[in-house]
Structure 1
Amino acid sequence: MLHRLVVRPELGAALGALLVFGFFSTITGQFLSPLGAATWLDDSATLGIVAVAVALLMIGGEFDLSAGVMTASTALVTSLLAVRLGWNVWAALLVSLLLALAVGALNGWLVMRTGLPSFIVTLGSFLALQGLNLGVTRAVTGTVQVSGMRATDGYTSAGSLFASTMDLGGTVFPTSIVWWLGVTAVASVVLVRTRLGNWIFAVGGSAPSARQVGVPVQRTKILLFMTTSAAAWLVGSINLLRYTTVQANQGVGLEFQYIIAAVIGGCLMTGGFGSAAGAAIGALIFGMARQGIVFARWNSDWFMLFLGLMLISAVLVNNTFRRRAERARR
């Protein structure tokens, strides 16, 4: 049993999460309060939903730098259609989802068709989407934000699904936590229990070898890019329906946090190794540390130091676990 645990990619992240949880639980009582727990769980959830999808993509050997800005792009499309054109919110959500899937498919197709690194292709998508977000929003509204979602048709029913809350023991917990857990569970099952999961590990380990044994490399990678875009759409929809407004420049910089959470959770930058549960734990560490520093009344600049140390430590630990796993397979 111990040997089987040691080769699990998420073990290092789990140990790190326990240390972070114990540390902030000790230095600040607010961290363990029901309201405090709801705060850092919500922070972890909105990060973790996309981090899990990014982890699948990284296991498949690719990166997506457009995931952060995609959360704003999809929310802007939904809000412009619903607020400015009077569409039903559900129809607007469907159109923004289709847009996200189309961008993800285009990213994947360009990577496979041109052979360019996904880092470059999705960086181009990031810049293009950021420019469109700012340009279109300013041209339509005269500002860089869209508000007024609360008065749109279908807002109540859509908000109850994406942005409602649960009262547990007198403390309000947002449903984003449920979405996070659900996405993690589905991704974990797909990764370790299905043929698609085997394909993801295969294309990330060696695409030429995977192709030789019949794995549909192009289809698998395009699907992974689409999954990342869909996850960004989900987070964008949750934020839009919760706050009823969206800024054209929001989401910028989150793409690196998604990747870092996945790396902390056990994913290797080279692909072929990692887990969905590990990425969720990496996001949990993010949320606990970010809110724990606030509860402890420290300067928020310390969070970046913590993040850098966690990233370096995670890379070193992940390499160790990968070597152990490879020896175990032999």
Structure 2
Amino acid sequence: MSQTLEAPAPAPSEPSNRVRMGLGQRLLSRPEIGALVAAIIIFVFFLALAPSFRSAESFFTVLYQSSVIGIVAVGVGLLMIGGEFDLSAGVIVYTAGLANSMFCWYFGVNMWVGAFLSLLFCLAIGFLNGYLVMRTGIPSFLITLGTFFVLQGANLGVTKLVTGTVSTPDVSQIAGFDSLAKVFSSNFKIGSVTVWGSVLWWVLFVGLAAWTLQRTRIGNWIFAVGGNADSARAVGVPVVRTKIGLFMTVSFLGWFIGMHQLYRFNTLQSGSGVGNEFLYIIAAVVGGTLLTGGFGNAIGVAIGAFIFGMTSLGIVYAGWDPNWFKAFLGVMLLLAVLVNLYVKRMATARKVG
């Protein structure tokens, strides 16, 4: 009596396990995953400990605070993916507003003229930063540190020379102010909640940056010049143009927030903005951008900015000493660097495998 021997069927769970492991590894290798987990933990933490944090008004205030940092952080993140830094990003925000305000007040011209000239000036600063970095070979850290000190001193010195004080005059009565305010500092109500236009602009800029990085040739160039500029140049990537363009992008977004600050508050303090450059860098690093370049994405930078907004206001809502905020930023930066290195190794291992 013969028997038919059948080979044992493979365990049905093995392929699904491999699929699940592959999916998990892909998720863990994404730059923004660490920041997303941290954002969820911090959000739940403040929901539990700060009752006033739970209202819709508080949430949209957090979004506004995040957007003011996040818009410039998008440009800084793109620049860091491209392998460079811009330490003048914080000061250029107020340089833009001061230039627009003082020019129009002193010469009595329409605010639109001043806004346009301010934009050209900021783009020129970005171009100069990028040009000097690429033509001299001096690290961008040093070039933009020099720009930082020049702008900081000029902001204070020129403002005092023109107005006699360290603040600009109220320009809300100059022609063009109201229409520009609608562009840069408008808001609207949803019930009892105030939604600032800067939040919508933030979403737009993040979406545009994410699309550029993931779907366009320029995005490939940015990753290439940040990963290895020499190799990128060898395959035809326009390294000089790409990096100068990234510096100019930072300057443009700095100008945009400078306009928001001016047209929201009508006047500016010339010494403001110092130290904000580190907030932009921290938002990018917490969001998964490597300090060595070539790795990161815009969504992660946006999450990093959101973490900044949650923490800066959550500490206040919880009734704690706000001086602890800087300590928190330092801890987050150190943890982010460690997580980013781990994620980068996983992503590299997945590509090799």
Shorter chain as denominator, the TM-score bin is: over 0.9
Please state if 1:37 is matched with 2:59.
Answer: yes
Q: Deviations over 1:192-225 (max 9, x none)?
A: 1100000000000000000000000000000000
Q: 1:188 aligns with which of 210, 228, 244?
A: 210
- Per mean C-alpha deviation after superposition, the further-off stretch among 8-17 and 32-41 is 32-41
The aligned residue for residue 46 of structure 1 is 68
- SS of 1:146's equivalent in the other structure is coil
The aligned residue for residue 185 of structure 2 is 163
The aligned residue for residue 12 of structure 1 is 34
Whole-Å separation in 1 of the counterparts to 2:265 and 2:34: 35
Whole-Å separation in 2 of the counterparts to 1:94 and 1:9: 36
Q: Which amino acid aligns with 1:190?
A: T
Please state if 1:261 is matched with 2:291.
Answer: no
Identity of aligned residues (%): 52
Please state if 1:22 is matched with 2:29.
Answer: no
Runs of 5+ in structure 1 lacking a partner?
A: none
Q: Deviations over 1:20-78 (max 9, x none)?
A: 10000111121121221122111100000011110000000000000000001010011
Q: Is the 8 A contact 2:89 2:277 kept in 1?
A: yes
- SS of 1:172's equivalent in the other structure is strand
- Per mean C-alpha deviation after superposition, the further-off stretch among 91-100 and 81-90 is 81-90
Whole-Å separation in 2 of the counterparts to 1:257 and 1:187: 19
Q: Which amino acid aligns with 1:63?
A: F
Please state if 1:141 is matched with 2:186.
Answer: no
Q: Is the 8 A contact 2:98 2:168 kept in 1?
A: yes
Q: Is the 8 A contact 2:163 2:169 kept in 1?
A: no
- SS of 2:194's equivalent in the other structure is strand
Offset at 1:3?
Answer: 2.9
The aligned residue for residue 90 of structure 2 is 68
Runs of 4+ in 1 over 6 A off after TM superposition: none
Q: Deviations over 1:81-104 (max 9, x none)?
A: 222212211111111111111000
Whole-Å separation in 2 of the counterparts to 1:97 and 1:265: 28
The aligned residue for residue 340 of structure 2 is 318
The aligned residue for residue 260 of structure 2 is 238
Q: 1:274 aligns with which of 296, 302, 306?
A: 296
Whole-Å separation in 1 of the counterparts to 2:169 and 2:190: 30
Whole-Å separation in 2 of the counterparts to 1:202 and 1:216: 10
Whole-Å separation in 1 of the counterparts to 2:197 and 2:109: 25
The count of residues paired between Structure 1 and Structure 2 equals 330
The aligned residue for residue 4 of structure 2 is none
Q: Deviations over 1:121-168 (max 9, x none)?
A: 000000001111111100000001112121010111110111011101
Residues 93-132 of structure 1 mapped to structure 2, 5 A cutoff = 93-132=115-154
Q: Which amino acid aligns with 2:298?
A: A
- Bigger radius of gyration, 1 or 2? 2
Whole-Å separation in 2 of the counterparts to 1:32 and 1:256: 29
Whole-Å separation in 1 of the counterparts to 2:30 and 2:334: 19
Q: Is the 8 A contact 1:82 1:153 kept in 2?
A: no
The aligned residue for residue 327 of structure 2 is 305
Q: Which amino acid aligns with 1:199?
A: W
Whole-Å separation in 2 of the counterparts to 1:299 and 1:249: 25
Runs of 5+ in structure 2 lacking a partner?
A: 1-22
Q: CA RMSD in A?
A: 0.8
Offset at 1:191?
Answer: 0.7
Whole-Å separation in 2 of the counterparts to 1:104 and 1:213: 26
TM-score, normalising length from structure 1?
A: 0.99
Whole-Å separation in 1 of the counterparts to 2:105 and 2:333: 41
The aligned residue for residue 86 of structure 1 is 108
- Per mean C-alpha deviation after superposition, the further-off stretch among 164-173 and 67-76 is 164-173
